Chain A
Amino acid sequence: MLGATGWFLDNAWLIPIIPGVAFALIILIGKRLPMQGSELGVASMAASLVLSVGAAYQWIQRVDDAGGHSEAGTLGLIAGFGRSLTAAQEEGAAYVQPVIRSWTWWESGGASFGYGQHIDGLAVMMLFLVAFISLLVQIYSLEYVRGDRRYTHFFAAITLFSAGMLVMVLGENMIQVILGWEIMGLCSFLLIGHWWEDEANSTAALKAFLTVRVGDIGLLVGTSVLFFGANDWTQENLGTSGFSIQGLSAWALSGEASETVLLWGAVALFIACIGKSGQFPLHTWLPDAMAGPTPVSSLLHSSTMVVAGVFLVARLYPVFWEAFSIPDVSVNFIVVIAGITIVISALLAFVQDDIKKVLAYSTVSQLGYMMLGLGAGAWLPAVFHIFTHAFFKCCLFLCAGSVSHSGSHHSFDMKRDMGGLAKKMPITAGAWIVATLALAGVFPLSGFFSKDEIIDNVGHNGYEVFMYIALFGAFLTAGYMTRATYLTFFGEPRGAAAHASALEAAGAASGRAGASPQNDASGHVPSPGGAADPALEEGRASAGQVGVSPLEDRGVGGLSSEEDDPADPALHGELATAGLAHADHGDAEHHGPHESPKLILIPVCILAFFALTAGFTNAVAFGEDWEQFKEYVEPIAEASDLEAAGAAPRASDLEAAGAASVRSGSSILNDASSHSVSSPAPVQEEGGEEEHASGCGYTAPEEGGICFFPAVSHAEFEWSKAALSLIVVGIGLVGSWFVCVALYSKRSRSLVGLTQRLAPARWGYNFLWNKYYLDHLYEQRIIRSIAHPIARGANWVNQNVIDGVVNGLGIGGRKTGGWVYRNIDQRVVDGAVNASGAAAGGTGHALQPVQSGKVNQYGALLFGAAAVFAIVLVIVNV
Chain B
Amino acid sequence: METITDQNWLLSVGTFLPLVGVLVMMVIPRAEEQLHKLVTIVASGATLAVGIYTATQFDFDRANAMQFYVNEEWIEVIRSNYALGLDGISMPLYLLSMVITFLVAIYTWDNMPEAGNPKAFGILMLVLQVGLAGTFVAQDLVLFFVFFEVVLLPMYFMIGVWGGAQRQYASLKFFLYTMFGSALMLVSILALFFQTGGESFGFLHFLDVAGTLDRDVQVWIFAGFFVGFAVKVPMFPFHTWLPDAHTEAPTQGSVILAAIMLKLGTYGFVRIAIPFLPNGAREWAPVIGILAVIGIIYGALGCLAQTDMKRLIAFSSVAHMGFTMLGISTLTEFGINAAIFGMVAHGLITGMLFFVAGSVKHRYHTLEISRLGGLLVSMPRLGWILGFCAMASLGLPGLAGFWGEFPAILSAYQPGFGLSEELYRVLMVIAAVGTVFAAGYLLWLYQRTAFGEPKAEFAQPVHSVSAAVNQEHDDDDHHVELHDVNRIEWIAWTPILVAIVALGIYPKLLFDITDPAVSDLVARLGEHLQP
Contact = CB atoms under 8 A, between A and B. Distances in A.
B220 A27 contact: no
Nearest to A183: B398
A795 B314 CA distance: 13
Nearest to B514: A108
B403 to A, nearest CB: 7
Nearest to A179: B397
A220 B409 contact: yes
A105 B305 CA distance: 38
B487 interface: no
Given A221-B428, A876-B217, A795 B305 contact: yes
Contacts of A125: none
B312 to A, nearest CB: 11
Interface stretch (B37-45, B46-54, B103-111, B175-183): B175-183
Nearest to A36: B468
Interface stretch (A77-85, A209-217, A549-557): A209-217
Contact of B176 (A27, A202, A859): A859
B428 A869 contact: no
A869 B413 contact: no
Contact of B468 (A30, A105, A865): A30
Interface string A838-875: 00000000011011001100110011011001101100
Contact of B447 (A206, A225, A227): A206
Interface centre among B156, B176, B180, B470 (most CB of A within 10 A): B176
B508 A105 contact: yes
Interface stretch (B91-99, B112-120, B350-358, B438-446): B438-446
Given A196-B451, A202-B451, A217-B435, A877 B191 contact: yes
Given A109-B519, A179-B398, A217 B179 contact: no
Contacts of B157: 847-848
A213 B183 contact: no
Contact of A110 (B160, B184, B467, B515): B515
Interface stretch (B1-9, B19-27, B332-340): B332-340
A726 B435 CA distance: 46
B305 A866 contact: no
Interface string A210-246: 1001101100110111011000000000000000000
B433 interface: yes
A795 B333 contact: no
A182 B156 contact: no
B221 interface: yes
B298 interface: yes
A718 interface: no
Contacts of B409: 220-221, 224
B35 interface: no
A104 B440 CA distance: 33
Interface stretch (A300-308, A336-344, A439-447, A786-794): A786-794
A197 B302 CA distance: 28
B156 A803 contact: no
Contacts, number: 211
A201 to B, nearest CB: 8
Contacts of B413: 224-225, 227-228
Nearest to B407: A108
Interface in B164-182: 168, 171-173, 175-177, 179-180
B468 A152 contact: yes
B180 A178 contact: no
B305 A791 contact: yes
Contact of A877 (B220, B239, B469): B220
Interface in B262-288: none
Given A183-B398, A216-B435, A791 B304 contact: yes
A618 B429 CA distance: 42
A199 interface: yes
B452 A197 contact: yes
A798 B298 CA distance: 9
A514 B188 CA distance: 84
A659 to B, nearest CB: 23
Contacts of A196: 376, 450-452
A855 B177 CA distance: 12
A278 interface: no
A27 B469 contact: yes
A210 B465 CA distance: 28
A827 interface: no
Contacts of A848: 156-157, 160-161, 168, 171
Chain A, interface size category, equals: 35 or more
Given A213-B436, A224-B428, A104 B333 contact: no
Contacts of A403: none
A795 B240 CA distance: 11
Nearest to B304: A791
A786 B301 contact: yes
Contacts of B515: 107-110
Contacts of B376: 196
A217 B433 CA distance: 6
B452 A199 contact: yes
Interface string A109-122: 11000000000000
Interface centre among B239, B337, B377, B443 (most CB of A within 10 A): B443
A802 interface: yes
A108 B511 contact: yes
B512 interface: yes
B433 A178 contact: no
A31 B187 contact: no
B432 interface: yes
Interface centre among A193, A199, A217 (most CB of B within 10 A): A217
A107 B469 CA distance: 32
Interface in B476-523: 506-508, 511-512, 515, 518-519, 522
A28 B472 CA distance: 9
B366 interface: no
Interface string A80-110: 0000000000000000000000001111111
A193 B446 CA distance: 12
Nearest to A37: B468
A202 B447 contact: yes
Nearest to B436: A213
Contacts of A210: 436, 439-440, 443
A481 B483 CA distance: 51
Contact of B444 (A186, A206, A798, A855): A206
A806 B443 contact: no
Contact of A866 (B180, B437, B443, B469): B180
Contacts of B304: 786-787, 791
B453 interface: yes
B186 interface: yes
Contacts of A30: 468
A228 B221 contact: no
A357 interface: no
Contacts of A666: none
A27 B381 CA distance: 12
Given A869-B184, A869-B224, A108 B337 contact: yes
A156 interface: yes
Nearest to A178: B397
A856 to B, nearest CB: 11
Contacts of B511: 106-108
8 contacts: A106-B403, A108-B407, A108-B511, A109-B515, A223-B410, A848-B168, A873-B220, A877-B220
Interface of A: 26-28, 30-31, 104-110, 149-150, 152-153, 156, 175, 178-179, 181-183, 185-186, 189, 193, 196-197, 199, 202-203, 206, 209-210, 213-214, 216-217, 220-221, 223-225, 227-228, 786-787, 790-792, 794-795, 798, 802-803, 806, 810, 847-848, 850-851, 854-855, 858-859, 862-863, 865-866, 869-870, 872-873, 876-877
The 6 closest A-B pairs by CB, nearest first: A109-B333, A866-B183, A795-B305, A791-B304, A794-B301, A862-B180
Given A107-B508, A217-B433, A866-B184, 17 more contacts: A28-B471, A104-B508, A106-B511, A110-B333, A178-B406, A183-B397, A186-B396, A196-B450, A197-B374, A227-B413, A786-B304, A791-B303, A792-B305, A798-B240, A855-B176, A859-B176, A865-B184
